[in-house]
Structure 1
Amino acid sequence: MEQVYRPILKQAWNITSHFKYLWFFGLFAAVFGSAGIYNINFSVDEASNGGDWLIRAKEFFVTLGTLEWSQVIANINIWVVLLFIIMLALGFFLLWLSIVSQGALIYGAREADQGRRLFFGEVLAHGRKKFWPLLLLNLLMAVVALVILLIFSLPFLVLIFKPEYANSITSLFVAISFIILVPIGVVLSFIIRYSLIFIVNKDRSLRAALSEAWGMFKRNWLASVEMAVILWFVFLVVGIILNAIFKYLIFPIVIYVFALLTTTYVGSVLLAQITLFLVATIYLAVMFVIAAVLNVFEISSWVLFFQKLNEDEVESKIVRLAVVTLGPAQTSNLLASPVKEESMSPVKGQRAVAKKVVRRKKAKPVQEE
C-alpha cells in the first residue's frame, strides 16, 4: 500500500526545520488560536461547563447596574485613558499580525514544499494581501462559536432562576455536549482549515472557500479525521516528552541552583532573584519557540494534506486496509460504492476501489428503458 501520512509529516518537518523564518509567523498565527479553531473548542468547553459563564455574566451586569457612572467618569485619570488607548492599539496590531501570519504561513508552507526559498517580506506581503478575507473568516467563525455557545447554554438559564434543578440539567447537558457539540466542533474545525487554504493558496472568495471546503470535507471526511488523529498523537507524544524533560530535568536543576545561591553566597538573595528572573525569561522564550515550531509543523502538514486531497491522491488508511483484507468487491459492497473491476490487475483494482470510496463520487442513476 502506498504511504500517505508519513511522507506528509516528514515533508512538513523538513519545511519546519529548513525554513526557520516561518517560525515568526507560526508564533503569531497561534496567538488567536489558528483561525478560530480554538474558538470553536473554547465554545464547546464553555457550553459544557455547567452554565457557569451565564451566572458570571449575570453577576457582571448586576455589578454594572450598581455603578454610579457619573462619578466613575468624573474620576477617570488622563493617564488611564492614555494607557487604555495604547493597549487597544496594541491589541488591534496583534490581531492584524495574527491574521497576516496565518496567510503568510499557509503561503510560505506551499512555496517551501515547491522548493522556493522566499524572502521574509515576500511572504509577509502575501499574507497582508489576504488580510480581509481571512479576518472575515475568523469573525464568521467567532460568531458561529458564539451562537453555538448561546444555543446550547440556554437550558442553563434555568440554573439562574431554578437552582434546585441544577444537578439534573447539568448531567443532561454534559451528555448532549458529547453527542452534538463535539461532532459539530470537529466538522467546523476542518471547514475552517480548508477554507483558509482555499483563500490563501487558491485565491477563492470567502463564500467559495467555505463551499469548496465543505465539499472537500464531505468527500474526504474519513481521511481528514485520520490526519487529525495522527497529528493529535504526534503532539501528545511531544507533550509527554517535553513535560518529562522539564519536570524531571530542568526544574530540579533550577531548584538546586536557586537553593545553592540562597544558602551559600553573600548577597545571595538578590543574586537568586536575578537568576530566577533569567530562568523564567529563558523558559518563556523556549515555550514561545516550541509553540512556533509546532504551529508551523501543524499548518505545513495540513497544507500538504490539502494539496494531496485537491489532487485526489489521498486514500484513507482504513479503506486501504479494508481493500487488502476483504478485497475490492466486498469493500465496495460494505461501503455502498460499486466499482467496475474489469481489466484490472488485483493491485490496480484495489487502488481504484480505495480512490473511489474516498472520493465518494455520487453515481448518476441509470434510467431503465
Structure 2
Amino acid sequence: MHEFAHRAPPAVLDDEGTAATQLVDRAGRVVSASVRVIGEPRMATFVPAPRMAMDRRLCDVPGFPGQCMIVAAMWVPALGGDLIAYSALPDPPWYGSEALLAQLVAASAIVLVIVAVGTYQLVGRTLQPVEDMTAELAEITATDLGHRVPVPAHHDEIRYLATVVNDTLELLEAALRRERRFTAEASHDLRTPITGAILRLEEALTDPDTVDWPRMAKELLSDVERQQAIAEDILTLARLDADRSAQHQRTDLADLARTELRRRLPGRVPIRTDLQPGVLVSCDRLLIARLLANLLDNAQRHATTTATVTVRAEDDTAILAVFDDGAGIAPEHREIIFERFARLPESRQRDPKGTGLGLAICREIAHAHRGTLTIEDPGQGTCLVLRMPLAD
C-alpha cells in the first residue's frame, strides 16, 4: 500500500489475500474499501501507534455478521496524509483445519478400539478366577461342603477372596460335622433310656403278678428324668445359637454370684466365697446364673471337703472361678470334658444321671459373652475359670 504516497487511493481496493480491507483517515472516515465491505462503516476503532502494527480479535466486524475476525491495523503513507489500513481475516478454529480434525477423529477412533479390545481381554483374564470360583461354589450343597474354590497363583485381592472363601467353607464343614455328631449322640442318649423302658415294660407285662410295680415305677421315673434333662440341655444349646445380646444388662458379677448361692440348697460339701465387689459386666443374667450353677454342681460333685467361688477383676477382664479340692482332671482330658456328651469314668460313677452337656453349655455361654471358659491348674483339685470383658 506504499504506492498511495504519490497518488490518491482508489475507491475499491484489492483484497490481497484478506477477507476485507479498508483505508480510514484520521477523522475516521472510510476512504477506500474492498468489495466485501463497500458502504460499511469502519471495521475497527482501535488505532495503532506510528510505525507499529497491531491486531485484535473482533466479533462485531461490519460485513461479517455472526463471525469473529482477526483485524490488523497499520499506518500507510498516502497523498494528502497518512491513512490507517485495516485488514480482516477469519478467526482460525481451535482444531486448525477440517482436514486436521478428520485425522484426529480417525486416530482417536482407532485408539479407542484398541483400548476397548485390550480392556476386554484384560478384564476377562482378571475375572476368570472369579468365574472358576463361582462354578465351584455352585457345586456345593448343604450336605456336601467338601468342595474348595481354586486359589489363583498371583497375589492380589482375588487370591485373598478365594482364601477367605475356603476358610469359611472349612468352618462351615467343621460346624456341620459337629452338628451331625451332636445329633447322633443326642439321638443315642435319648433312644437308650426309651428302649430300656420299653423292654422292662414288655417283660413286666408278660408276668404282671410277679412284678414289683413301685420299684418298676421308680426305675422308669429315673429314665424319664434323664430324658427330660437331656432335652432341656439340648434346648439350651439351641437357644445359645440365637442372638441374645438385647438381653444383656450391666451386672455386678459378685452380686449375681451371691444371689445364686442363696438360692442353692445345701450340697454335699460347703461352698466358700471370695467375691470382689464392683466387678461390672454386660451379660444375660439367666445364662451366667446357669453357668455358675453348672460349675457349682460339678464342683460339689467332685470336691473332697469344700468348693470355692471367687470373683475378681484383672485389667479389663472379669474373672469368675469355681474351685474344688477333689482328685482333679488329667491334662489330656481338660479339653475333652467340654465336648458335648463327653463324660469321664469318674463322672459317670459319681453322677449316673448326668447328660454330659453341662460343661459344653457353660463354654457356649462363655463364648456368647465374648469370653472363655478353661481349666487352670490350681496344684490340687480342679479350677474352672470364666474370663469375660468388663463393662464399659
**Short-chain TM bin:** under 0.3
Q: TM-score, normalised by structure 2?
A: 0.18
Larger helix proportion of the pair:
1
Higher strand share: 2
Choose 1 or 2 for highest CA Rg: 2
Report the TM-score when normalising by structure 1. 0.19
* Greater RCO (Cα-Cα under 8 Å, separation 6 or more): 1
